Chain A
């Protein structure tokens, strides 16, 4: 007889499930301002600690501190606050539109607004994002027409994608926003390829790839890191760690005490972990990575630590799988509230101004929604003509598709 115990499979579980009272007091939150800010040509081996800490700029007193602070003017920060509040107002309105049956599906980014909104500020015209479905902030913080986003969500007659894609799967080459797939992780390596092309052509453009922490388990994540590091591609590899992949907590994809950022270290890629609810920290780290890519030093991996305050999409109810109070107990707070507190502390913002801004943005979104509804909704139409279904499968329509269109009678 063997004297060893039978083996058993370890299946990680989140700390809190429905009915539990969440308590994150044991989660170590590094002090704002504590993480060093290396030069962009640093040897990745010298900054391994940055993959395990959390780079933070705003402290609990609403002050910006440390070497990653002081990169934006008050006006730029106010604009950042407005961007985040616009995204939040847009999400709330579209969520309601879905509940009203005007569209089939919606995905909000509640609690994660700082990441895309701050990140977009480090990009230049001609750079290309390869986003996931939770980076609407990349479009809403630029001059992309909001009405086209709603037209796309409604699959109406003015939908720029002619009703071919799920709601929220936007595409705009002009605005540096690669067509969202809906598959997970496939875009992560495509962004690396785009960046390689920019380098092959001696261009000065950079690419950014986006992925959620759950999808880092996909093979495309690994491919992207291998290719990015091998060819020193001018790409920023962004992992948005919002703790939850639908109902699956991040521990299922992570493995023990490792961080998602630390996965970059094995590839020799500088890897930074940042407070994703800190607009100023997100901007500073993104700017560092963009400067590094533009200077020809290659890729950077960034993990944004945040929290998905809403459901995964309109198709799931988070109260079925996680503790009700978890989002309000989350130790990194709310990105909008934190930036508001910072601006008020600086004396350049007030509760009254904030309230006024919120009402103005809600009115703006409602007005644009009204415009979009003139072009129809998914439920009531009108839509693009069914004949367009056969177009753009190829540059030219082959014989078999011409015959099928005729058979369809459209």
Chain B
């Protein structure tokens, strides 16, 4: 079976979903004829027609506002925001509208909508093509936030997100877009379930997206028997998987690319402190992007790499 990159897997997930359900529509900036700047929607307009895959004006609040309207009509819009960094004009529509329409209408109206967006750095995109805004979504009640780390999951999680009855923010780590991994299947991967990438006994590593690979490399280089948990869905979070693992290993290292202060790692650290404190052998450590704007030339010094993560692993082991 041919191998798929994450781009191909994401495209295939939309293809599978559009073939299964006429109500699935795909749109965004440059998404139609051209197939998206990262080519995730290539061929979909040709296959399903202009009324199901089309270009939009450069207006993120318009794209998301219109998607909300379509979803309340009964469609399943899967909108693309060209870069996660561009979603801010649509943030009001996400956080105050999409997230609350089910609740405020007592289930009278619902928003089964997916907003896809490439996230994270590592491609020299500078400060407007590299941000990791996942914590800004995870903080909001009523939306789900998903970040896959490989094509298999990307495809299955995107199918599940399109089938989901609630709004889903689907963040695609662009640094992994061209990874040669296998995404060949057409099954949903359930939202809200973490995956254990490596079983281990000495320390739990909580990671998602690109940092899964950084964690794997760091654990191997450091020679630490780490249990690596790929969260996959930040909200709803698989709290039980986290608690079970940390209660077993007694140590926890959290790694993400986003800035540290009030980042998603803060929530993870708090959950571990609240629910696993008496099992801990050493303080929880976060390894994150620095609290600066995303730097262009210095990005490899900005986000966590194996050296910084390896140092954190050694630190938690020393405290034993």
Contact = CB atoms under 8 A, between A and B. Distances in A.
Contacts of A32: none
Given A183-B97, A190-B66, A200-B51, A178 B106 contact: no
A169 B69 contact: no
A162 B165 CA distance: 21
B104 A169 contact: yes
A91 interface: no
Interface of B: 23, 25, 51-52, 56-57, 59, 61-62, 65-70, 72-75, 77, 89, 92-93, 96-97, 101-110, 141-142, 144, 164-166, 192, 235-237, 239-240
B109 A198 contact: no
Nearest to B75: A197
Nearest to B92: A186
A28 interface: no
Given A181-B96, A226-B57, A230-B57, A196 B66 contact: yes
B104 A161 contact: yes
A164 B104 contact: yes
Given A164-B103, A171-B109, A200-B52, A400 B239 contact: yes
Interface of A: 128, 130, 160-162, 164-165, 169, 171-173, 178-179, 181, 183, 186, 188-201, 207, 219-220, 222-224, 226-227, 230, 392-395, 398-400
A201 B105 CA distance: 24
Contacts of B89: 219
Nearest to B65: A189
A263 to B, nearest CB: 16
A188 B93 CA distance: 11
A165 B103 CA distance: 9
Contacts of B59: 222-223, 226-227
Contacts of A164: 103-104, 106
A193 B68 CA distance: 7
B96 A197 contact: no
Considering the complex of A and B, which 7 residue pairs feature the smallest CB-CB distances, nearest first?
A193-B69, A193-B66, A223-B62, A189-B65, A398-B236, A197-B73, A179-B105
Contacts of B96: 181, 183, 186
A197 B105 contact: no
Nearest to A177: B108
Nearest to B191: A398
A26 B65 CA distance: 41
A281 B278 CA distance: 73
Given A223-B62, A393-B103, 17 more contacts: A161-B105, A164-B106, A171-B104, A173-B109, A179-B109, A183-B96, A186-B65, A186-B93, A190-B69, A197-B70, A200-B25, A200-B51, A227-B59, A393-B142, A394-B166, A398-B236, A399-B240
A186 B96 CA distance: 9
Max chain B Cβ within 10 angstroms of own Cβ: one of A179, A191, A199, A399:
A179
Given A171-B108, A200-B75, A392 B65 contact: no
A181 B66 contact: no
Given A393-B142, A394-B166, A194 B69 contact: yes
A175 to B, nearest CB: 10
A197 B109 CA distance: 15
21 contacts: A128-B73, A164-B104, A171-B105, A179-B101, A179-B104, A181-B97, A183-B97, A190-B65, A194-B73, A198-B73, A199-B51, A226-B57, A226-B59, A227-B56, A227-B62, A392-B103, A393-B102, A395-B110, A395-B165, A398-B235, A399-B237
B109 A193 contact: no
A173 B66 contact: no
Contacts of B240: 399
A179 B105 CA distance: 6
Given A172-B108, A186-B92, A186-B97, A197 B65 contact: no
